[in-house]
């Protein structure tokens, strides 16, 4: 799925929203499952009248016109009347502001992040949305989501949303030109020392054989600071590091200084593209496809996608995904993703417990492969086909009707597939199996701050703090500043009372969630 085009921003005061949404009677929250719930989520004895369910979400493409046959089938199967409303991603801020101002929210509402819509968090505190914690276990397909997905999506130890599930791993791997390794008689680097050797060789030994000194080791984006992977692979932690139950910023750690020293040395040896300070993440593909660099850190599946482009110019090119190298302490460090993109809240004002259970039945069914494909792509063999490799291809007929993952798939949470970042339509099976092995080697470290609100000091000064840290990191790597300068900056933050208050509030949120 594409990242959200625009962060949500809600200007409505929490007081008005809470007053409206919380004005509902107390409902039974015991979590007792409906006896009609089955492994598919369909009701054995549907009510005579279908349950109306209104759902508002975002769309990255044009919304379908007219009623979709897939929705009709879902309605009949689950005895519901789905009323789907797609908001264009570019307009979602404006539309949600209007929706919230009207105080007439749908039964189910998409939310990207509580940090960007704090009024929703205030409403949660006042009981405006259902706590789903007691219910999920009664819906077998939703219950299959990894525990960490729900943990990361929870707020203050409770689950007020259905997360739109994504893999926890596969977003980090090392992409490397296997043909360059072979030409230079090198092996896949498994340690940082071996990585340094490979990066320098890619820069100095003409791996593309064109007789020109026009190649470098790695393409690293630095326009917004170094990517977290190139630091966390040294064992810095993920954004924050838990030390004996308390959080410290990852860049406080000695491992961060080790990482900066490593990349500074590599930069001097040509192991990093010299444009590093201004390169953006979107340019990684271009630099690899143009054979400017032979190493990058990106999604596992990106190696195959970029190699397809590479081979149009150089049929012998072979860009593959492999494990990232071990840190100096001999361990592998991967950052765990949140496991979701966006969340759905269920409005307690318009939804009683019986309707809540019906909504969860719907989402339980769309958390299966068949249910997800129906909701997203339409009718099998009419609107989409399933290839031998299991990938889905939308037919021209389906496209004409408006089915697409960018739109019709945005109202469902989906099913969990550990390997979805390992595959893409048309990928040869041997490459897919190699990618699976890469993901199977990963034992990732969760970010302890998922689900935590930003502290008050960070909301005021965070952008400035982040820029100072990121700028110094980039300058140390390219040699404009020294490691001593880095130490001085860290000390400045440790002496800054506002930053220390930020750390305290973040730890307070962390302890509250742990309860």
Residue 301 sits in the same domain as residue 208:
yes
User: Rounded to an integer, what distance in angstroms lies between the CA atom of residue 473 and that of residue 479?
Assistant: 10
> At residue 111, does pLDDT exceed 90?
no
The kind and range of the H/E element at 341 are strand 340-346
Instruction: Please identify, among 385, 409, 440, the residue that sits at the C-terminal boundary of a domain.
Output: 440
User: Rounded to an integer, what distance in angstroms lies between the CA atom of residue 515 and that of residue 512?
Assistant: 5
User: Rounded to an integer, what distance in angstroms lies between the CA atom of residue 323 and that of residue 438?
Assistant: 6
Q: What is the CATH number of the domain that holds 200?
A: 3.40.190.10
User: Rounded to an integer, what distance in angstroms lies between the CA atom of residue 114 and that of residue 65?
Assistant: 31
Lookup: tokens for 355: 């309707």
User: Rounded to an integer, what distance in angstroms lies between the CA atom of residue 134 and that of residue 149?
Assistant: 16
- Reported as a pLDDT band with limits 50, 70 and 90, residue 45 is low
Residue 230 sits in the same domain as residue 322:
yes
Residue 429 sits in the same domain as residue 487:
no
Enumerate residues 6+ apart whose C-beta is below 8 A from 293: 202, 215, 216, 217, 218, 219, 273, 287
If one counts every other C-beta atom within 10 angstroms of the C-beta of residue 463, the result is: 10
Query: CB-hemisphere CA count at 13 Å for 185?
Result: 1
Residue 428 sits in the same domain as residue 488:
no
Instruction: Report percent pLDDT > 70 for the chain.
Output: 90
Lookup: tokens for 211: 């007789």
Name the 3-class secondary structure at 155. strand
Enumerate residues 6+ apart whose C-beta is below 8 A from 223: 277, 278, 279, 280
Number of domains in the chain: 3
With beta carbons less than 8 A apart as the criterion, state whether 249 and 448 touch. Answer: no
Range of the domain at 109: 14-25+36-167+339-417
Residue 3 lies in a domain: no
Identify which of 94-108, 123-137, 170-184, 391-405 has the greatest average pLDDT: 170-184
Query: CB-hemisphere CA count at 13 Å for 201?
Result: 19
Name the one residue in this structure whose structure tokens are 């100095």.
204
Residue 199 sits in the same domain as residue 321:
yes
Residue 110 sits in the same domain as residue 231:
no
Residue 102 sits in the same domain as residue 249:
no
User: Rounded to an integer, what distance in angstroms lies between the CA atom of residue 11 and that of residue 507?
Assistant: 27
> At residue 493, does pLDDT exceed 70?
yes
If one counts every other C-beta atom within 10 angstroms of the C-beta of residue 316, the result is: 9
Query: What pLDDT was estimated at residue 21?
Result: 45
- Reported as a pLDDT band with limits 50, 70 and 90, residue 452 is confident
Read off the pLDDT of residues 242-300 as tens digits, 9 standing for 90 and up. 988 899 999 999 999 999 999 999 999 999 999 999 999 999 999 999 999 999 999 99
- Reported as a pLDDT band with limits 50, 70 and 90, residue 44 is low
Residue 278 sits in the same domain as residue 261:
yes
Say what angle helices 369-377 and 69-78 make with each other, to 10 degrees. Answer: 140
Residue 21 sits in the same domain as residue 162:
yes
> At residue 315, does pLDDT exceed 50?
yes
Residue 153 sits in the same domain as residue 79:
yes
Query: What pLDDT was estimated at residue 2?
Result: 40
Residue 65 sits in the same domain as residue 113:
yes
């Amino acid at each position: 799925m594409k990242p959200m085009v625009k962060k949500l921003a809600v200007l409505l005061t929490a007081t008005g929203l809470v007053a409206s949404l919380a004005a509902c009677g107390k409902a039974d929250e015991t979590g007792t499952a409906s006896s009609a719930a089955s492994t598919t989520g369909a009701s054995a004895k549907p009510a005579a009248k279908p349950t109306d369910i209104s759902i508002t979400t975002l769309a990255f493409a044009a919304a379908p016109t007219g009623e979709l046959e897939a929705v009709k089938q879902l309605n009949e199967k689950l005895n519901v009347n789905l009323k789907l409303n797609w908001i264009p991603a570019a307009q979602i801020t404006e539309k949600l502001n209007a929706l919230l101002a009207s105080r007439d929210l749908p039964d189910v509402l998409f939310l990207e992040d509580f940090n960007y819509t704090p009024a929703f968090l205030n409403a949660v505190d006042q009981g405006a949305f259902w706590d789903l914690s007691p219910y999920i276990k009664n819906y077998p397909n939703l219950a299959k989501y990894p525990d960490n997905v729900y943990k990361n999506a929870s707020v203050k130890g409770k689950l007020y949303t259905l997360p739109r599930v994504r893999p926890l791993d596969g977003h980090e791997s090392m992409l490397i030109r296997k043909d360059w390794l072979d030409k230079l008689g090198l092996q896949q680097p498994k340690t940082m020392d071996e990585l340094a050797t490979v990066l320098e060789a890619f820069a100095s030994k003409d791996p593309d054989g064109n007789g020109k000194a026009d190649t470098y080791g790695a393409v690293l984006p630095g326009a917004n600071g170094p990517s977290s992977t190139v630091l966390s692979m040294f064992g810095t932690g993920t954004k924050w590091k838990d030390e004996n139950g308390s959080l410290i910023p990852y860049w406080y750690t000695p491992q961060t200084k080790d990482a900066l020293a490593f990349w500074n040395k590599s930069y001097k040896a040509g192991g990093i593209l010299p444009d590093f300070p201004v390169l953006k993440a979107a340019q990684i593909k271009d630099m690899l496809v143009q054979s400017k660099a032979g190493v990058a850190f990106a999604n596992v599946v990106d190696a195959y996608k970029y190699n397809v482009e590479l081979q149009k110019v150089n049929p012998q090119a072979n860009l593959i995904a492999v494990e990232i190298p071990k840190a100096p302490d001999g361990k592998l460090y991967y950052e765990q993703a949140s496991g979701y993109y966006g969340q759905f809240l269920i409005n307690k004002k318009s939804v009683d417990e019986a309707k809540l259970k019906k909504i969860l039945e719907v989402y339980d069914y769309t958390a299966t492969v068949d249910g997800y494909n129906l909701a997203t792509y339409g009718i099998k063999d009419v609107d989409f086909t399933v290839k031998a490799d299991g990938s889905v291809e939308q037919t021209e007929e389906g496209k004409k009707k408006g089915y697409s993952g960018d739109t019709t798939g945005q109202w469902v949470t989906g099913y969990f597939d550990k390997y979805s970042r390992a595959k893409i339509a048309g990928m040869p099976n041997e490459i897919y199996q190699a990618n699976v092995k890469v993901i199977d080697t990963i034992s990732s470290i969760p970010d302890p701050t998922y689900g935590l609100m930003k502290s008050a000091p960070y909301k005021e000064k965070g952008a400035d703090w982040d820029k100072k840290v990121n700028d110094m990191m980039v300058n140390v790597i390219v040699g404009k500043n020294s490691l001593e300068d880095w130490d001085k900056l860290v000390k400045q933050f440790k002496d800054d009372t506002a930053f220390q208050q930020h750390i305290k509030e973040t730890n307070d949120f962390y302890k509250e969630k742990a309860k």
